[in-house]
Every structure is written in C-alpha cells, then in structure tokens.
C-alpha cells in the first residue's frame, strides 16, 4: 500500500519562512491535511482541503499541493510554532480505502 513521506526534522530562524513537505502517491487523488502536535498534547488541525485554516489558526500557516507532494508553509515562523507536524490523506490503494499519516516532521525554531 501507499505511504506518506516527510523529512524527519526541519529548522527555521525566527521570523523566517519554512516549508514542510509530504510525498505520496495518494496525494495525486486525495487532498492532504496537516496536524500540529506539541509535546504532551493531542494533535491540532492547522490546514485542510485545498488551503483552509480552522478558526483560530494564524494566517501564517498555508498549504498547497503539486503532483504527489503536499506542502505546509509557515510564513514568519514564531517560537510557538516549534512542534511536530504530520500530514495525512486517504488512500484507496489496496483492497480497502484507509487513512495514511506521514511519519512527522519536527520543526525547530532557532
């Protein structure tokens, strides 16, 4: 079956822009969503669909997809953005549709 691949770790200087990517064949057919998880906390949805932010998520978070790669961009990263980020999408390969999560990217804000 398919999988979603993320870089294990990314760093960004405070106030700069960072892009976190997620690759997988399922992204050619299904949109990705992005989750932020801070230590000891449950995941929090930050981006879904084409490029939608839930209420309360700052507009410095944005999403895009090209081919089999989805990207989460943080424009002007803040200290509070330091967290693990996971992409996810549906996958219809194999005998039954199911959900995939990427392995996660640890974002460090320097």
Partner 1 sequence: QVQLQESGPGLVKPSGTLSLSCDVSGDSISSYNWWSWVRQPPGKGLEWIGEIYHTGSTSNNPSLKTRVSISVDKSKNHFSLELTSMTAADTAVYYCARVKRYYDSSGYVEYFQDWGQGTQVTVSS
The verdict on 1 binding partner 1 (CB under 8 A) reads yes
User: What is the smallest separation between the CB atom of 11 and partner 1, expressed in angstroms?
Assistant: 19
The two three-digit tokens of residue 68, written as one number: 């089999």
> Which residues, listed in sequence order, are joined to residue 74 by a DSSP beta bridge?
18, 61
Question: What is the 8-class DSSP label of residue 28?
Answer: G
Max Cα distance, the chain (Å) = 45
Task: Give the residue, chosen from 54, 58, 78, 110, that forms a contact with partner 1 under the rule CB under 8 A.
Answer: 54
Task: Give the residue, chosen from 42, 56, 62, 64, that forms a contact with partner 1 under the rule CB under 8 A.
Answer: 42
The verdict on 69 binding partner 1 (CB under 8 A) reads no
Burial 69-82 (b: 16+ CB within 10 A, else e): ebbbbbeebeeebb
The verdict on 96 binding partner 1 (CB under 8 A) reads yes
- Which residues of this protein are in contact with partner 1, per CB under 8 A? 1, 30-31, 33, 35, 37, 42-45, 48-50, 54, 84, 86, 88-90, 94-104
């Amino acid at each position: 079956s398919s999988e979603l691949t993320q870089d294990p770790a990314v760093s960004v200087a405070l106030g700069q822009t960072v892009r976190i990517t997620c690759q997988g064949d399922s992204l050619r057919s299904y949109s990705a969503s992005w989750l932020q998880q801070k230590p000891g906390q449950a995941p929090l949805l930050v981006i879904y669909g084409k490029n939608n932010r839930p209420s309360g998520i700052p507009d410095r978070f944005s999403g895009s997809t090209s081919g089999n790669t989805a990207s989460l961009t943080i424009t002007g990263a803040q200290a509070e953005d330091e967290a693990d980020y996971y992409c996810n999408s549906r996958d219809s390969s194999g005998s039954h549709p199911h959900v995939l999560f990427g392995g996660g990217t640890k974002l460090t804000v320097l």
